[in-house]
Homo-oligomer: A and B are copies of this chain.
Amino acid sequence: MPIDGSLDSIQLRADRERVMGERSPHFYKETLHLERGKGVWLYGADGRQYLDFYNNVPTVGHSHPHVVNAISRQLAALNTHTRYLYNNAVEYADRLTATVADHLDVCLFVNSGSEANDVAWQISQVVTGNAGLLVMHNAYHGITQAGIAMTPAKGLEPARHVEEIPAPDDYRRAVATPAEAISDTEKAIAELRIREIDLAAFIVDSAMCSSGIPDVPDGFLGAIASTIHAAGGLVIADEVQSGFGRLGAMWGHELLGMQPDIVTLGKPVGNGHPLGVVITSRAVLDEFQAQVRLFSTFGGNPVSCAAGLAVLDVIEREDLITNSLTTGTYLREQLRQLAATQPLIGDVRGRGLLAGLELVTDRETKTPATAQTRELLELMRKNGALVGKDGEHAHILKLRPPLVTTRQHVDLFVDILARSLIEVST
């Protein structure tokens, strides 16, 4: 009997395969059938509730009433596009640009982080006149054709115009110094030049989720950015995963001391409403729009802007960035205590309410516990908590609970994790 084995769920899984394809990505051996969400909780068709420590999209909590009401009210009033004028697109662009560095003063609205990164990459090529791109090792930046080319995490043959920079990994190697970052960046730029490709941009998720959620040392990203600027390239901060308070600060790039030319937003920005934003300087955007007058039909429509504004409201009113920092620190303390008795946990990393647990079969050899990680995810689901995995060997437990997570939720979560770890096959 499957975990949530009602006839309805079994039938729905078969139907899903029939109408969405048998290889459509899904979680768990028996895909989890959900019916409702509220705050940090998801409610299954099996009548059970699940602590959602996977999902960084509903960043202010599932079905937050302020966001639901803002979207619903705007839907009933007006939904149109940015070739007309309406108050909330301008208001939203104002509120967003007020949160970043002064030189980043304009917004271009799209519908996903993928579209935002695709457009940021187009801007970089037009503004520099070049075609070369640097990414972190095993980076992930989206699903458009241009996005997949900058996503070695997908395991496809690397695109000719893309070079990878090694990610920090002080669990397996020494702490990466800024000098190493500069040298690796220069090496990657030189590799492109051998192929007669000049540098257009460097793009980075400062949380480096798919690169294993490493601790990024002070000065590391700043050193890369300076090297990129010296070589005439633009720096794109992909804040789809690291932004909006996830790391205990509004922006990952600020926390890590990197000065970008373009910031891209996705996932949490509309708490699940499809919304992506490119923030850049007016000079850069004007230069791009002089060549490509890019317009997204849905991008920045009044409903999307209402969603975006409501999320900013909640982050401020409920002081969620402070909560991300303090509850995230508490989460890692609890995880490190657990690691003391659980040898599978090789390392505990992360910032704010992003945590990475590197699981290893042996603390000496640090062998990735890929199979055990997969099993642990299933066990945790059985025990009532949802988490993800990431990294090149899919052995890093990835925790990204909503920013409304409390210490009580953390205690509950760590208890579920502890019970699940005991059940993992040895």
Q: Using a CB–CB distance below 8 Å, which chain A residues touch chain B?
A: 9, 12-13, 15-16, 18-27, 31-37, 42, 45, 55, 57-58, 62-63, 65, 67-68, 71-72, 75-87, 89-90, 93-94, 97, 105-108, 110-115, 118-119, 121-122, 143-146, 148, 154, 156, 266-267, 271-275, 282, 285-286, 289-301, 303-304
* Cβ–Cβ contact B71 & A304, under 8 A: no
> Which 10 pairs of residues, A with B, have the shortest CB-CB distance?
A23-B289, A19-B93, A72-B72, A274-B298, A274-B274, A145-B146, A79-B272, A111-B111, A33-B85, A111-B274
Chain copies in the assembled complex: 2
Q: Does the CB pair B113–A112 fall under 8 Å? A: no
Give the docked Cα–Cα distance between A298 and B274 (Å).
6
Contact present for A27 and B83 (CB under 8 Å): yes
CB pair B275–A90 under 8 Å, yes or no, is no
Decide: B108 and A21 in contact? CB cutoff 8 A: yes
CB neighbours (8 Å) of A301 from chain B are 272, 274
The CA of A260 and the CA of B89, in the complex, are separated in Å by 38
Q: Are B20 and A85 in contact (CB under 8 A)?
A: no
B293 touches A23 (CB 8 A): yes
For the complex, give the distance between the alpha carbons of A229 and B294 in Å.
Answer: 33
* Cβ-defined contact, A75 with B72, below 8 A: yes
CB A94 to nearest CB in B, in angstroms, measures 6
Closest to A119 in B: B143
A85 to B19, CA, bound (A): 13
Q: What are the residues of chain B within 8 A of A285 when measuring CB–CB? A: 21, 23-24
Instruction: Name A145's contact: one of B18, B122, B298 (CB within 8 Å).
Output: B122
- Residue of B with least CB distance to A240: B297
Contacts of A145 in B (CB 8 A): 118, 121-122, 144-146
* Cα of A182 to Cα of B105 in the assembled complex, Å: 51
Least CB distance from A303 to B in Å reads 7
A86 touches B272 (CB 8 A): no
Distance between A8 CB and nearest chain B CB, rounded to angstroms: 9
A20 and B106 within 8 A (CB): yes
CB–CB B122/A26 < 8 A: no
Shortest distance between the CB of A286 and any CB in chain B (Å):
6
B84 near A76 (CB under 8 angstroms)? no
Report the minimum CB–CB distance from A66 to chain B (whole Å). 12
Bound Cα distance from A76 to B39, whole angstroms: 11
In Å, the complex CA distance between A15 and B86 comes to: 11
Contact B107 A295 (CB under 8 A): no
Please determine whether A112 and B62 come into contact, CB atoms closer than 8 angstroms.
no
- Neighbouring B residues of A299 by C-beta, 8 Å: 112, 274
Cα distance, A85 to B107, chains bound together (Å): 34
